[in-house]
Every structure is written in C-alpha cells, then in structure tokens.
Amino acid sequence: MPPHPPPAVAKPSPLLLRLALGAAAALALLPVTARALTHEVQPGETLSAIALRYGVPLEALAAANGIANPDLIFAGQLLTIAGSSPSVPPPGAAVGPPAGRLYLVQPGETLSDIALRHGVTVKALAAANGLHNPDRIFAGQLLTIPAPTSAPAAVSRPQVEALLRQAAAEFGIWPPLLLGLAWLESGWNQAMISPAGAVGIMQLMPATAEWGLEYLAPDAVDWRTDPRDNIRLGAVVFAHMLWQAGGDLDIALAFYYQGWWSIEQFGIFEETLQYVANVLAIAEDFAE
C-alpha cells in the first residue's frame, strides 16, 4: 500500500469492475474508414486495430514499419501506412524527441490546438509548413510537426529500464507489468506529450501528477523533465490504484487508463479493455 493514501478517495468495488471487464472482453473493434499516409499511435491502440482502421493486412502493416512483434508498439510511434520505413529504433538506442513527424489534421482542429498537443509553438509549426495564415488549415491536411525546442535529454533504453525496475521494487509492483505499462504509454520516451497533454514515460496528466505530489511522492517535483521523477511518480500512482483495486491487476490498469471515477460513472470503455489486454501481453513478453 502506497504511503499516505488520501482519505477522500473512495475505493470502488473490484467485483463489479471485474464483472464489467469480463462481460465486455469479447467485443470486437469496429473498423473505421480513413485516408492517411501515416498514423500516430495513440495510448491503448493495437496494430491490429490500426490495420483494420486503414483496411490493410496486419502483416503488411508490420512489415512496412519493421515491426517484428505486433504487440510491441507504443504511443507516439509514427506508422507508415504505405511504404517500408522502419519506425522502431534498435534496442539500446537513445529514446528522445523525433526530429520531425507528420500529422493529419482532424475536423475542427486549429493550428494552436495541434501546436499545444505536440509541445511546439504556433510560430514554429506555421514556419515548418509554410503557412502564412495560421487560421487557414483544413481537415485532411498533412502537417510536419517540428521537434520541440525544449525537450528532455535523450535517455537510453537500458537506463530507462533500470529506472523502471527500481521504481517497481520501491513500490511493490511486478517489474514486467511496469515495464509494459510504460512501454505502451510512451515507448519509454520522456519527451512524449500526448494529444491530451499527458507527459513523459508514464504519461502523467498534470492534475494526476499534482495529486501524486501532494499525497504520494512529494520529492518527484521534476516529473515533467526528469525520467526518474516521472517514473517514480507514475509508479506510485499506479501502486495506489492497485491498492484501490484490491490487488487486481486488470482493474488497476483500467483505473490508470480511464480513471476510477470515470469507470464508476460510465462503466468500462471498450478501448480500456483493449488497453488492459495490451499491457498484460507486453508484460508477458518482458517476463520471458
């Protein structure tokens, strides 16, 4: 049990959530029609779901991106839908911010929205795409996202793995589970900022991080830029969720992805079930 759990946090019923997880586990993802040359992996997505979305064979999508294990993809990874450009660096490579990537504008998005989500300025984004009027972008437009100007330093994968294992031991978490959770969230990339604003290796939302700093790990103050602080804060938050879930790994992972309040109010989302299954599958790979 993590130190000093706040008394105001209720403890949902693991039994009810387990029933919800089991009842919805057989639902299949529906294909969504879309046109794009590249796809940025979102938290919880699987390669098979992405292949369905774009109407391409799973094997072809994996081959086009140099992916040997279809279970090992991560949030922020840029997949080529057509072509043969590998997107996963070799083991041991430094995990840092991309030099540049492509993004397909969605309906209703503004340039400022996109800049904020990817941690760049509107000016830099406009300059990278030759946009004289930042208000004139359109759905389906392919933008080049420049590298953030103030990103954390690159950290090697062995270094990140060591930090994850240390945090797992500190907070009583099965190490392969924390490794898999962090891998699916960010690909162990401290420079990762999600479209929703989640930060770092453990993809911490600012509100969650502030709560964790207040109640669980007050010394992890540099969680936005320091891989160690980000990992420790994310790990202790997950350990608290594991305590809330009565030790049930599936439910704790669902809490981490969707939030226990959302689950209590709306039930388990289908994408949450997929996320839980993905993390557990990756954890088993790390356990081998």
Q: Are residues 146 and 163 in the same domain?
A: no
What's 65-112 look like in SS3?
CCCCCCCCCCCCCEEECCCCCCCCCCCCCEECCCCEEEEECCCCCCHH
Most confident of 34-38, 47-51, 279-283: 279-283
Q: Are residues 160 and 279 in the same domain?
A: yes
46, exposed or middle or buried, with CB in 10 Å at 0-12, 13-18, 19+? buried
Q: At 279, which amino acid appears?
A: V
Q: Are residues 126 and 243 in the same domain?
A: no
Name the domain count of the chain: 3
At residue 155 the predicted structure's pLDDT band, cuts being 50, 70 and 90, is: confident
Per residue in 86-116, pLDDT tens? 333 344 433 444 444 667 788 888 888 887 7
Average pLDDT over residues 122-146: 85
Give the β-pairing of 142-146 and 78-80: unpaired
Most confident of 71-85, 97-111, 172-186, 274-288: 172-186
Does the structure show a pLDDT above 50 at 220? yes
Instruction: Identify whether the C-beta of residue 129 lies closer than 8 Å to the C-beta of residue 103.
Output: no
- Between 205 and 57, the more confident residue is 205
Q: Are residues 157 and 279 in the same domain?
A: yes
Residue 107 is assigned to a structural domain of this protein: yes
Which pLDDT value is given to residue 148? 57
Average pLDDT over residues 180-190: 89
Domain end position, chosen among 150, 165, 188: 150
Which pLDDT value is given to residue 231? 97
Does the structure show a pLDDT above 60 at 12? no
Domain, as residue range, for 78 = 29-88
Most confident of 15-19, 87-91, 143-147, 280-284: 280-284
Most confident of 91-100, 203-212, 230-239: 230-239
Q: Are residues 54 and 120 in the same domain?
A: no
Which pLDDT value is given to residue 255? 94
Mean pLDDT across the chain, nearest whole number? 77
Does the structure show a pLDDT above 50 at 31? no
Q: Are residues 280 and 174 in the same domain?
A: yes
Q: What are the angstrom distances between the C-alpha of 22 and each of 253, 256, 277?
A: 14, 18, 12
Looking up residue 82, the CATH number of its domain turns out to be 3.10.350.10
Q: Are residues 33 and 47 in the same domain?
A: yes
Residue 1 is assigned to a structural domain of this protein: no
Does the structure show a pLDDT above 90 at 213? yes
Average pLDDT over residues 120-140: 85
For 4, the token pair is 């000093």
Which pLDDT value is given to residue 149? 52
